Amino acid sequence: MLSLEGVVEDIIFRNEINSYTVAVLNTSDGDATIVGYAPFINIGETITVEGDWVYHPNYGEQLEFSNISIVVPSTINGIENYLSSGLIPYIGPKTAKRIVEKFGLDALDIIQYNPERLKEIEGIGDKKLKKIVEAFEEQGEIRNIMVFLQQYGITANYGIKIYKKYGKDTINIISENPYRLAEDILGIGFKTADKIAQNMGISLDSPYRIEGGIRYTINKFAGGGHTYAPEGELIEAVSQLLNVDIDLIEESIRNLAIRGVLHIMDKDGEKIVYYTPYHIAENNVAKKIVELSRVELGILDIDIKNAISEIEGEDGIIFAEKQREAIEESISNGVMVMTGGPGTGKTTIINAIIKIFEDQGLVVHLAAPTGRAAKRMTETTGKEAKTIHRLLEYSHMDEDMAFGLNEESPLITDLLIIDEASMMDIILMNNLLKAITPGTRLILVGDIDQLPSVGPGNVLKDIIESGVVKVVKLDEIFRQGEESMIVVNAHRINNGKYPFLNEKDKDFYFIRENDTKNIVNIILDLCNTRLPNFYGIDCLKDIQVLTPMKKGDVGINALNKHLQDTLNPKSYNKAEKQIGDEIFRVGDKVMQIKNNYSTEWTIVKDGETIEKGEGVFNGDFGYILDIDNEDNTILVLFDEEKEVEYSFNQLDELKLSYATTVHKSQGSEFKVVVMPIYWGPPMLLTRNLLYTAITRARDLVVLVGEERYLQSMINNNRITKRYSSLDTKIRNIMTMF
């Protein structure tokens, strides 16, 4: 085996997926082409490689290396190249030059042993200094770990995530049980972990493997919205995944249950298996719903009928019977559900309830699951609404959800109204109810006919079906709603009827086209030219393309590339960064695709930071303000006020969102929705998906495609069953009273 030492002169090629690299190494004997898996080397670094010479028919002689290590430079130029290589985030070429000019050969020692002196360098303050020091301390450890991980095909981005999770013990933890990766690291699935394990020689019937397969499968059920899995279905799925004896699977399920990871119980004569946190959450929610519903409420000195009449006189309206019922029941019930489609007057009722309670000097709080839903609630009520996380004073602690408001420190309010309650999963609902004391009135507002929550559980539907909580279902469309074809057609579709299309001077249109390429071109023209010009709207902020699918010509992956090229094309004055197949560019519309409770955000006005907080959540929309290739960061603006800084290795949390799936649009409202209507899997092309999509639009809906697929979606009233037991648990607790 040959050893070469030199400076990386050029990186000819690097596969961002598996880190396979072709580079030119400048050695004392001249330039040499080296090839191998190197996720971390950068131009200007001094490295040592070990390998063998191979001959490539097109590129000639190359050194194919199997081992690689970094040599800390000892010259001025070497140190500058080392610091500017991108190895240490927040030090780019300009900052590297300033550091070397200031400290010379002592630069690396200064960073390691006396980092406070870096503040003598222009552009380095306390915040940046902290990040540089942390990165410098980590880089030595990270490189050793990268060398270990690269033999298993794990990319640099994942390597950094793994290191941040496990720290110095990374190699020991993975060597002992690589299946932990599937559970702990977003983006590394069980199959990848299993491949690593097999390369390490772990047996196919290892308890680690079987338990890893069970955890993976039960989490897959949760990903489908289920809080539990029938034991038979779970065993069958694990058996197909692992190809091991069923007896071993059953034994591992029992062992996981004994350790408290899983919970097994009987339901309707069938054994079901919970991931324990979901079982606990369901139990807690059920108990709290019953408690809030059954508690004796304080008597309010309100003549409710007179109060309703006064609001009618002041606002020039007449409440319908169901609307009056909702207002009256808000006084007499600890928990009330109000559900109805668009145009049924939910906002009018909420405003009336707020006024009645506040006129009595009572405290009212408003909240919603997402930032956009909370913002919309604020706009329609004139009263501040917060996200549930913000309401509960969320803070990040040791990667666990930690809320400042809970049983020990409850929310002080007389009435809490939650909008878009159908979006709440069982975990979020559990944390919300922990902070509510008996005697507080809780009103859950939502549309039960929309898609359920992305997370596990069927909370709103289960509460309704329990029969324990007062439910007011609004089904009458009022005059204002009747003027909108969006509202009218939403209800027609929900009832299995074909919508009215292309009514003159209305807000619901269908453009007929049966060729997918033409469908795409029409969508691009609508977003870029026709709709902005005709309606005077912003092509980025006001128009949202929604589609059922991720893949295919009219899936989000293809549409986002086309829309980016059209609406935010490449330009010399727009910085950009490519990650895999996706290019991020200043001005791009993006979405957060996972909950990150620790990400910091700031609200800046007139150059001053006026508020700070933590947490960016799955489904949040934003716009790229800046890409700094010097500091390796991207700045994104969320909710038109929150600035969030991402390092380049965090960009797997973001996705272009000129187009997004209907599921991801829940809780959002857009001025205009454009949607392709074309063939897709029947499980996606459903009535409630179409209904959800068009109810996201406030002013205009434009559908593009074939009418036969529109009709098939309306006919397809398939509702995927969710395994959850909240309704049963609520009823069971009620029998105890």
Mean pLDDT lowest among 153-157, 474-478, 704-708:
153-157
pLDDT at 505: 83
How many Cβ atoms sit within 10 Å of the Cβ of residue 569?
10
Tokens representing 630 are: 């010097």
CA angle 540, 423, 610 (to 5 degrees): 60
Q: Which 8-state DSSP code applies to residue 656?
A: E
- Give the integer Cα–Cα distance in Å for 366 and 351: 11
Residue carrying the six token digits 């092309």: 685
Which tens digits make up the pLDDT trace of 21-45?
A: 888 998 888 889 999 877 667 776 7
Interval 642-652 mean pLDDT: 86
pLDDT at 281: 97
Q: Note whether 183 and 174 are within 8 A (CB).
A: no
What are the angstrom distances between the C-alpha of 263 and each of 46, 229, 459, 722? Answer: 54, 11, 20, 18
pLDDT at 10: 84
State yes or no: pLDDT of 18 exceeds 70: no
Average pLDDT, the chain: 88
Pairing of strands 394-397, 400-403: antiparallel
358 or 162: whose pLDDT is higher? 358
135 or 582: whose pLDDT is higher? 582
State yes or no: pLDDT of 272 exceeds 90: yes
Which pLDDT band holds residue 147 (cuts at 50, 70, 90)? low
pLDDT at 461: 95
Q: Compute φ and ψ for 642, nearest 5 degrees.
A: -90, 120
Strand order in the sheet with 608-616: 608-616, 596-605, 642-647, 633-638, 621-628, 589-592, 654-656
pLDDT at 164: 75
Interval 488-493 mean pLDDT: 93
Interval 389-406 mean pLDDT: 77
Sorted by sequence, the CB contacts under 8 Å of residue 326 that are 6+ apart come out as 336, 338, 349, 353, 472, 474
Which pLDDT band holds residue 595 (cuts at 50, 70, 90)? confident
Which pLDDT band holds residue 648 (cuts at 50, 70, 90)? confident
How many Cβ atoms sit within 10 Å of the Cβ of residue 173?
17
Which tens digits make up the pLDDT trace of 678-704?
A: 998 888 889 999 999 999 999 999 999
261 or 159: whose pLDDT is higher? 261
- Type and span of the H or E element at 334: none
- Give the integer Cα–Cα distance in Å for 463 and 461: 5
State yes or no: pLDDT of 429 exceeds 90: yes
Which tens digits make up the pLDDT trace of 705-732?
A: 999 999 999 999 887 789 999 999 999 9
pLDDT at 371: 80
pLDDT at 251: 96
User: In the beta sheet, which residues pair with residue 64?
Assistant: 35, 52
Q: DSSP string spanning 302-318?
A: --HHHHHHHHHHHHT--
- Give the integer Cα–Cα distance in Å for 120 and 696: 52
State yes or no: pLDDT of 16 exceeds 80: no
State yes or no: pLDDT of 122 exceeds 70: yes
Interval 277-303 mean pLDDT: 91
Q: Which 8-state DSSP code applies to residue 652?
A: G
Percent of the chain with pLDDT over 70: 94
Exposed (0-12), middle (13-18) or buried (19+): which is 118, by Cβ within 10 Å? buried
State yes or no: pLDDT of 170 exceeds 70: yes
State yes or no: pLDDT of 396 exceeds 70: no
- Where residue 450 falls (left for φ over 0; alpha for ψ -120 to 50; beta otherwise) is beta
- Where residue 297 falls (left for φ over 0; alpha for ψ -120 to 50; beta otherwise) is beta
Percent of the chain with pLDDT over 90: 52
- Type and span of the H or E element at 642: strand 642-647
Q: Where are the alpha helices (DSSP H) in 17-125?
A: 76-83, 93-103, 107-113
Q: Please name which of 92, 87, 68, 86 lies closest in space to residue 6, comparing C-alpha atoms.
A: 68
Exposed (0-12), middle (13-18) or buried (19+): which is 406, by Cβ within 10 Å? middle
676 or 163: whose pLDDT is higher? 676
Q: Compute φ and ψ for 104, nearest 5 degrees.
A: 60, -135
User: In the beta sheet, which residues pair with residue 54?
Assistant: 62
State yes or no: pLDDT of 176 exceeds 90: no
612 or 240: whose pLDDT is higher? 240
Q: DSSP string spanning 581-605?
A: TEEEETT-EEEE-S-EEEEEEEEEE
Helices (H) and strands (E) in the chain, counts: 27, 30
Q: Note whether 34 and 16 are within 8 A (CB).
A: no
Mean pLDDT lowest among 147-161, 380-394, 715-729:
147-161
State yes or no: pLDDT of 565 exceeds 80: yes
- Where residue 457 falls (left for φ over 0; alpha for ψ -120 to 50; beta otherwise) is left
Biggest CA pair distance of the chain? 96
pLDDT at 279: 97
192 or 143: whose pLDDT is higher? 192
Q: DSSP string spanning 535-568?
A: H---TTTTEEEEES-SSSTTSHHHHHHHHHHHHS
pLDDT at 241: 93
DSSP SS3 for 698: strand
Exposed (0-12), middle (13-18) or buried (19+): which is 470, by Cβ within 10 Å? middle
Handedness of CA 98, 157, 664, 436 (dihedral sign): negative
pLDDT at 287: 96
Roughly how many angstroms between the first and final C-alpha of the chain, as a whole number? 78
Interval 468-474 mean pLDDT: 95
pTM for this predicted structure: 0.78
State yes or no: pLDDT of 187 exceeds 60: yes
State yes or no: pLDDT of 503 exceeds 60: yes
Q: Note whether 643 and 604 are within 8 A (CB).
A: yes
Amino acid at 459: V
- Give the integer Cα–Cα distance in Å for 1 and 430: 60
Q: Compute φ and ψ for 291, nearest 5 degrees.
A: -60, -50
Radius of gyration of the chain from its Cα atoms, rounded to whole angstroms: 29
Which tens digits make up the pLDDT trace of 77-115?
A: 778 877 776 667 678 788 888 898 989 988 888 887 888
Exposure string (b/e) for 19-37, b if CB count within 10 Å is 16 or more? bbbbbbbeeeeeebbbbbb
- Give the integer Cα–Cα distance in Å for 363 and 437: 14
Handedness of CA 219, 220, 225, 226 (dihedral sign): negative
